[in-house]
Amino acid sequence: MSVGRPLASVLGWVSAATCALIGIAYVGEPSFGRAVAFVSTLAWLGAAALAAVTMWQTLTASGARTVLLILLSVLAAGFVAANVLALMASSEGVSQVPETLHVLGAISGSALYLEALADVSVTFLSARNGTRDPMERAMPV
């Protein structure tokens, strides 16, 4: 178990919930026409992916968790990019964009991205130095 596990879990769940709320916000916005179904579906798929990988990284250890954290960082980067794109569209005059949710998404996604990368880096540096994660030493392998 890594020291970062609780933080990765909290940030992952916050990002997943924010992503789901963004999808709900767009469903309630009829001015986007047919694009509502596309944007909402993408948001819900993103929320499901963030939630699933967050849960998986919480339940695994060692190398498998490292791979899941790398995947989580990729998902977080995509989530941040989508939020920044929406905020750019809003600043260019696209009305009815839920800006507050997109700001929250950009912040939580960025924090998740940085935490996942930091946790993976610590794992790689520990392996390079021949040490195991201090939390894993207490658990039998």
Per-run averaged pLDDT (10 residues), the chain, 141 residues: 72 97 90 86 97 94 90 97 95 89 97 95 81 51 46
How confident is the model at residue 118, as a pLDDT?
93
What does the pLDDT read at residue 138? 45
- Calculate ∠ Cα 123-125-129, nearest 5°: 115
> According to the model, what pLDDT value does residue 70 have?
95
Query: What pLDDT shows up at residue 3?
Result: 47
Q: Is 97 helix (H, G, I), strand (E, B) or coil?
A: coil
The HSE-up count of residue 57 (CA atoms within 13 Å, CB side) is: 31
pTM for this model (two decimals): 0.84
**What's the rounded Cα separation, in Å, for the pair 23 and 106?**
15
User: How far is Cα 98 from Cα 119, in angstroms, rounded to an integer?
Assistant: 31
